[in-house]
Structures are given as structure tokens and as C-alpha cells.
């Protein structure tokens, strides 16, 4: 499997059978130009959308006529299992920013969890439903989502083998959120990879838990 960080909360996941999944595609130039990442030009077979905000739901220009997955869902497509679990964008059960869907993806013998714009901690019941996570995509910038400290607590709670931070401040994102650096303070086994794309298989998962910081491709 290949994982490419496009930018913000959007990743291109390519399975060994060349099935392409894009998570939370943003609209370039959204929010008055605050989302300054370049337009997504990748093709996809499947697109997952955590919630209906323009920095997470802009699938209209995704090439390849993909299937769009939203909301609470349990579906298998091309041998890949998708489970969408409804949570919230805030700590007030959606009263501030609405609902959010976290997507559990079973592909190539790996379990990936994309948290979208999660705004609160998960429960023991939700953790039990999710099971063991191999790769976690987690927002760390705060303000609109859980912040660095809350994200750190959640990583300890879920214990993924690989944690990939997302939804943080960059030079092209004019949101009042923190950079990834706040999340990395005091962390062990951090890999600053300085690349946008990595390859991973069940066999090559690290023996100890690691944090992989990817470089957004579309800056």
C-alpha cells in the first residue's frame, strides 16, 4: 500500500491492486482563500468524506468517477471494507460544528482509521468497535478539532502502530490552528520523513509505535 499526503486532511491511499482512495478532499481556495493548497488532480475509485465543510468534502473535481462514501456506512468495494462511524466535530455533540464521521478502512491486511475533524475523545465502546489500529490519521491543530494535547491522549488510548498527523497549520493554510510541532513535543519514535508518499505493508509495520510526519504534496 502507498499513502500520499495531499494536504490538510486529504490522503491518497493506493492498494496493492491499484485501487485508489482519497480521504476528505478539500476545495482549493475555500474560505476566502484560506485553504491555499493546490487543487487535487489525482484520480480515485473511492472518496471518503467525514463532514460537509469545503476543506473536507470537495469531490466534484476528483477524476475517475469515484464512489462517494458519507455518513454512517458499512460497505465493501473492490475487496476493501469501509466502516463509517458517526461522532462529532466538537465537544457539545455537534451543537457547535455538527457531526463528523470517522472511517475505518480494511485494506491489504491493514486497518486504517481516518478521524476527519474529530472534536472530542472517543469512548471505550468506540475503541472496542474499532479494534486494533495499524495506521491512524489524526487531526492535531486544534481550534476546529482536538488539539495537540488531546490528540496525544487519543494516540495513547488507541495505540496505533503508525500515527500520521494531519489538519495542522502550514504556509498555505490560513486557519487559526497550530503547526504539527506542538503535537511532536516530547514524543519518541518520530520520523520526519520529508516526503509526501510512503509505502507500508503488514509485514513492514514497525515493531514499536511510531509517528510519521509527511510533507503535504500540494503546497
| Cα 10 from chain centre | 6
Q: What is the pLDDT of residues 41-65, one digit of tens each?
A: 999 999 999 999 999 999 999 999 9
pLDDT at residue number 91: 73
Q: What is the pLDDT of residue 98?
A: 63
d(CA 153, CA 125): 16
Tell whether the model's pLDDT for residue 66 goes beyond 70.
yes
pLDDT score for 94:
59
* Interatomic CA distance for residues 4 and 10, integer angstroms: 9
Q: How confident is the model at residue 141 (pLDDT cuts 50, 70, 90)?
A: very high
Residue 88 pLDDT class (50, 70, 90 cuts): low
Global pTM reads 0.96
User: What's the pLDDT at 99?
Assistant: 81
At 84 the three-state DSSP class reads strand
Contacts of 202 by beta carbon, 8 Å cutoff, 6+ apart: 108, 109, 110, 134
pLDDT digits (tens, 9 = 90+) for 153-205: 999 999 999 999 999 999 999 999 999 999 999 999 999 999 999 999 999 99
Rounded to 5°, the CA angle 106-19-44 comes to 110
Q: Mean pLDDT in the chain?
A: 95
**How high is the pLDDT of residue 53?**
92
Return the domain boundaries, the chain: 2-213
Q: 1 with 200: CB under 8 angstroms? A: yes
CATH superfamily label, 2-213: Ribonuclease Z/Hydroxyacylglutathione hydrolase-like (3.60.15.10)
Amino acid at each position: 500500500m502507498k499513502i500520499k499526503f495531499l494536504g490538510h486532511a486529504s490522503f491518497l491511499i493506493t492498494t496493492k491492486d491499484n485501487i485508489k482512495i482519497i480521504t476528505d478532499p478539500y476545495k482549493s481556495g475555500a474560505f476566502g482563500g484560506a485553504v491555499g493548497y493546490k487543487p487535487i488532480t489525482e484520480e480515485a475509485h473511492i472518496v471518503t468524506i467525514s463532514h460537509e465543510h469545503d476543506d473536507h468534502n470537495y469531490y466534484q473535481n476528483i477524476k475517475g468517477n469515484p464512489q462517494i462514501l458519507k455518513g454512517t456506512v458499512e460497505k465493501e468495494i473492490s475487496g476493501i471494507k469501509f466502516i463509517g462511524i458517526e461522532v462529532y466535530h466538537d465537544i457539545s455533540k455537534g451543537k457547535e460544528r455538527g457531526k463528523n464521521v470517522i472511517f475505518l478502512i480494511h485494506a491489504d491486511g491493514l486497518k486504517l482509521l481516518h478521524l476527519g475533524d474529530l472534536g472530542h475523545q472517543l469512548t471505550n465502546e468506540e475503541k472496542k468497535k474499532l479494534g486494533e489500529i495499524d495506521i491512524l490519521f489524526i487531526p492535531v491543530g486544534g481550534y476546529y478539532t482536538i488539539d495537540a494535547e488531546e490528540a496525544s491522549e487519543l494516540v495513547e488510548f488507541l495505540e496505533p502502530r503508525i500515527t500520521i498527523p494531519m489538519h495542522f497549520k502550514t504556509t498555505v493554510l490560513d486557519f487559526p490552528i497550530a503547526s504539527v510541532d506542538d503535537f511532536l513535543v516530547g514524543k519518541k519514535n518520530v520520523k520526519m520523513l520529508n516526503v509526501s508518499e510512503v509505502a507500508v505493508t503488514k509485514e513492514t509495520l514497525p515493531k514499536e509505535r511510531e509517528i510519521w510526519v509527511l510533507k503535504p504534496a500540494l503546497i
